[in-house]
Each structure stands twice: as structure tokens, then as C-alpha cells.
Amino acid sequence: GLVRGQPISVEDFLCFPAYNNSCKKTLRPELEATLIYCLLSTITILSVVLNLLVIISIYHFRQLQTCTNLLLLSLAVSDFHVSSVQMPFQIFHYRGCWFLGDLACVVYYYSGFLAVSASVGNMVLISIDRYVAICDPLFYPTKITIRRVKGCIGLCWLFSTVHASWILREMLRQPDMYNTCYGECVVLVPNEIEAMFDLVGTFIAPIGLITVLYLRVFVVAVTQARAMRSQVTSKSMQCSRAKKSELKAARTLGVVIVMFIICSCPYYIFTLLNDSGVTDSSGAAELWLIYLNSCVNPIIYAFCYPWFRRATKHIFTLNILQPGSSEMNILWRSLELS
């Protein structure tokens, strides 16, 4: 065979030439392959660094440990999980060969189901948090407490762990049961009923709930914005600033949720239109679009949250190593609530 006039040897064509049942490589021009590797590696490194900054910021500065920010912290943990585990493994998948063995293949798929399910759960919790904050603000402090938020986050990760364990139960018992050649990493959902349940439970139902909640938030936010324009007294101005802070948080988190839906839809549509199998080559672009969302989230925070920029500055200048730095007034004089 030839690739643009260059002869192809058996070593170039097969993942493991020494094995008779070796999988075949996905052949690409060297320049194209190098550029794609560089792009994917850059996205991976950027995503790891940015999500780590979010985690350190909220975990270190006590002033940032609000109910909403704890949900953002949980989301950042799932995004960091994607960028530090899923993205590097997926780069190894790029040429169509799996060189890391069966155990790493199980870890790859298990962490993928876990992280995506946790991300969806976190998005639902964020939507509920904003719904109560905007639509029922008087009862927000009593309904949404730190203890309840931590409990919900724990349940979210517990459900995600159980979900991943159940979907991959056959693969956990026999890691290579779905492979058709040596050097392949494949998983299949056991049957169509479970595949549909997974699709509904981890995408259709949560996205539907998120959409309904945020449509309600949008309607109430518009009404409140109009009401604030007519308030002129000193007391009403203070309330107005507080409401504006909540509305700003709702808008920012709304952007996060919209980007999540945009990045997730192509992959789930691809899965729905094809079959329940997930291979190292099928839907690669759609899968990377989901992973890209893990890099987009902290970028949104950087543009929309001044506290994130200030916290990042303190981290890079090593001010967080100073005694008592966790008590620093990272919000300054602003009324940021998240």
C-alpha cells in the first residue's frame, strides 16, 4: 500500500505485527497526525491546569465556599477527572490501537461513565440551586444549606459510581470480552433496554429537567430585572444590588449549562442513531466535543467571575502559602454570591 507515494510496511499497518489477530492502525498523513496530537495535547494540559485552579481556589479560600461554589467545585472535580484521565487515554486511541492493556481499558471506560454521569448530576443540582435562588429567594437560605448541598453532591457521586459499575459489570468481570482483535478497547451496553435506560437517565431526563428549570429562571429573571429599574429608594437599591448578583450568577451558570448541552448533544445523537456500542474509533469527534466542555467551563469562570481571577493571581504568586491566607477577603467589596 501507499500513503501519498510512500510504501507501507506491515509494521505501519498493524498495531501488533507479531500477533496474527492484531488490530489495524488508522493511517493518517504524518503532518495531519502531528497537528492533531499537538491540538489535543494542548486542550488536555489547559483543561487540567484550569480545573485544578478552580478546585484549589474554592477549596482554599473559605469565603468562596458557598452553596453554589461547592457545586462548581464538584463539577470542576469531574472536569479534572475527564482532563487527567479520559483525555490522555483518548489520545492513545487516536491511531486506532490500544497499547495500555485490558486493565487500563476498564479504567478508561469506567472513569468515563463515572465522570459524565457526575457532570450531568452536577448540572441538575446547579439548575435547582439557581431556580430556588431566583424563583424562591426568601426561602433560599433555609432550603439550600451547606450541609444539604454536600449531601446532594455525595449522593450524585454515589449514584454515578453505581451507574458506572452496573453498566460495565460484564466488562469488569472479563475486560477483553468485547474485543475482536488484539490491541482493541471496546465496550458494549449489555442490551437495548439498558442502553435506552442509560440514554434517558443520563441525558434526556436530566437535560429536560435542566431546560424546564432554566426557562422558569429566565422568565422570573426578566420580571425581576424590569422591577429593579423602578426601584429608587436606598433600601430598595441594596436589594437591587443583591438581586443583580443573583441574576449575574444565574446568567453565568446558564452559559455553563448551555455549553454543556451543545457539547453533549452531538455524541448522544450519534449514539442514538447508531448502536449501543462504543469503540475507539466511532464517534471520536463527538466524544472529544464532550471532553472539550471540561476545558470550556473554567474559561467561562475566568471571564465571568472576578473572584476566580483574583484567586488565580494569589495561587500563581504563592500568596496562598502564607499563614491565614484562607481567610483572605477574595471578594473584596463586591456582593458576589457565587
Q: Output 248 or 119, whichever has higher pLDDT.
A: 119
Alpha-carbon distance of 109 to 146, in angstroms, equals 32
17 in a domain, yes or no? no
Q: At residue 104, does pLDDT exceed 90?
A: no
Instruction: Please report the pLDDT score of residue 140 as a whole number.
Output: 87
Q: pLDDT > 70: what percent of the chain? A: 81
C-alpha cell read off for 166? 452496573
Q: What is the pLDDT of residues 133-166, one digit of tens each?
A: 888 888 888 999 999 999 999 999 999 999 899 8
The mean per-residue pLDDT over the stretch 271-279 comes to 55
Q: At residue 294, does pLDDT exceed 50?
A: yes
Alpha-carbon distance of 54 to 72, in angstroms, equals 8
16 in a domain, yes or no? no
Per-residue confidence at 56, pLDDT binned at 50, 70, 90?
very high
Q: Output 189 or 318, whichever has higher pLDDT.
A: 318
Alpha-carbon distance of 231 to 279, in angstroms, equals 58
Total domains, the chain: 1
Q: Which residues, in sequence order, are CB contacts of 32 under 8 Å at separation 6+?
A: none
C-alpha cell read off for 214? 432554566
Alpha-carbon distance of 34 to 23, in angstroms, equals 22
Per-residue confidence at 5, pLDDT binned at 50, 70, 90?
very low
Q: Which residues, in sequence order, are CB contacts of 184 under 8 Å at separation 6+?
A: 23, 98, 279, 280
238 in a domain, yes or no? yes
C-alpha cell read off for 269? 445523537
Q: Please count the other Cβ atoms lying within 10 Å of the Cβ belonging to residue 320.
A: 16
Alpha-carbon distance of 247 to 251, in angstroms, equals 6
Q: At residue 336, does pLDDT exceed 60?
A: no
Alpha-carbon distance of 143 to 135, in angstroms, equals 12
313 in a domain, yes or no? yes
90 in a domain, yes or no? yes
Alpha-carbon distance of 266 to 260, in angstroms, equals 11
Q: At residue 334, does pLDDT exceed 70?
A: no
Q: Please answer whether residues 295 and 50 qualify as being in contact, where contact means their C-beta atoms are separated by less than 8 angstroms.
A: yes
String of DSSP letters for 232-267? -SHHHHHHHHHHHHHHHHHHHHHHHHHHHHHHHHHH
Question: Domain holding 78: CATH number?
Answer: 1.20.1070.10
Crossing angle for the helix pair 101-135 and 67-81, to the nearest 10 degrees: 160
The mean per-residue pLDDT over the stretch 286-304 comes to 84
The mean per-residue pLDDT over the stretch 112-120 comes to 89
- The residue with cell 429608587 is 232
Q: Please answer whether residues 38 and 52 qualify as being in contact, where contact means their C-beta atoms are separated by less than 8 angstroms.
A: no
Q: What is the pLDDT of residues 220-232, one digit of tens each?
A: 777 766 666 555 5
C-alpha cell read off for 280? 475507539
215 in a domain, yes or no? yes
Q: What is the chain's mean pLDDT, rounded?
A: 80
The mean per-residue pLDDT over the stretch 34-38 comes to 85
For residue 68, give the nearest of 114, 119, 120, 127 by alpha carbon.
Answer: 127
12 in a domain, yes or no? no
Q: Which residues, in sequence order, are CB contacts of 295 under 8 Å at separation 6+?
A: 43, 46, 47, 50, 79, 83
Q: Output 55 or 104, whichever has higher pLDDT.
A: 55
304 in a domain, yes or no? yes
- What range defines the domain where residue 143 resides? 30-327
Q: pLDDT > 90: what percent of the chain? A: 20
